[in-house]
Amino acid sequence: MPATADLHALGQSLWLDNITRDLLDNGTLKKYIDELSVTGLTSNPSIFQKAIAGSSSYEPQIRELMAAKHETESLFFEIAITDLRRAADSFKDVHARTGGVDGWVSLEVSPLLANDTDSTIKQAKELHAKADRDNLFIKVPGTPEGIPAIEELIFSGVHINVTLLFSREHYLAAAEAYTRGIERRIEAGLDPKVCSVASLFISRWDKATMGKLDGDLKDRLGTAIGERSYAAYVDFCSSDRWNDLKSKGALPQRLLFASTGTKDPALSDTFYIGGLAAPDTVNTMPENTLLAFYDHGTLSGPLPTDGGDCEKTIAAIEAAGVDVHALAEKLQVDGRDAFNASWNSMIDDIATKTQSLAGA
């Protein structure tokens, strides 16, 4: 049995961190679902930028949208929603079979809104309604301004993938916002079954400390943060507060491990997959990482529910001169800025492509 099937059997969802129209058209996504145990999919502006720039498959729709006088941002969302609706339909059976726990795809709000609560809420609601799929998450960053937007969107019935989380504290803020939104729905007599995942970024920790740590501490901070956050996740979801909400029909927000492709060429290409295996969680992985894990991945057993030696590891890393709390905040800000840059670059590329098609 391939390692992807082993991971699925352990209870962790394998999601593909990629989407292209060619992937949908040529049957590759169906193959991943059927043979590699893939049960969901995530996207971001960088992924769509590469997809649109790297294929002529989008050109007929771009021409139609140009004729309909769509502005560049509107044109992008039309393209993205077209692909993600198809992907969502591919996971429809998984979503039904798991009672809404699995089988999700994700569409991101404009990252330029990361510091604007009201505009994030407005755009997320519009995209959710426009996509019109029960198994589509709207991605909202877990920044200080995003947290109140998440609570309000959950209360409004919008399924949310909380992104840009880098620490246990970031995760707990997202979990609290989700929980408050569910509690408000119950108080208002609404269905509590609104779903969410909390996406914790892993490999960027080790990239940020490359050259600063050595020996047993090198490339250990990302997984240690994952272990620490997983322990907090287990505690949060097993609390009396959440047991009461589950008895009323609510589903806990699942922890999702993101940014799980390795950045250090000295590491195994499956390092963040086998090392972060845990039931009732998600690992969304780049396509190359998924294929590598299918080919030669191994599991080191499920993560310890108490975090194992993570606190000892983090303490040693702090003693070596890394301010972990400050780095978490910096990584979130840097991540936001990187998403903004990717968004602007994607919009520029689409504008260039539309001008080229118009000239042709």
Q: How far, CA to CA in Å, does 318 sit from each of 172, 213, 221, 324?
A: 21, 10, 10, 7
Task: Please report, as a single letter, which amino acid is at residue 352.
Answer: T
The two structure tokens encoding residue 261: 């492709």
d(CA 283, CA 226): 11
Q: How far, CA to CA in Å, does 255 sit from each of 29, 34, 94, 232?
A: 23, 24, 19, 10
Q: Is 40 helix (H, G, I), strand (E, B) or coil?
A: strand
d(CA 90, CA 67): 29
CA 134 to chain centre: 17
Catalytic positions: 139
d(CA 350, CA 75): 9
Could you tell me the maximum CA-CA distance found in the chain, to the nearest angstrom?
63
- Cross-strand pairs, 258: 201
d(CA 298, CA 29): 23
278 closest CA partner among 239, 206, 226, 236: 226
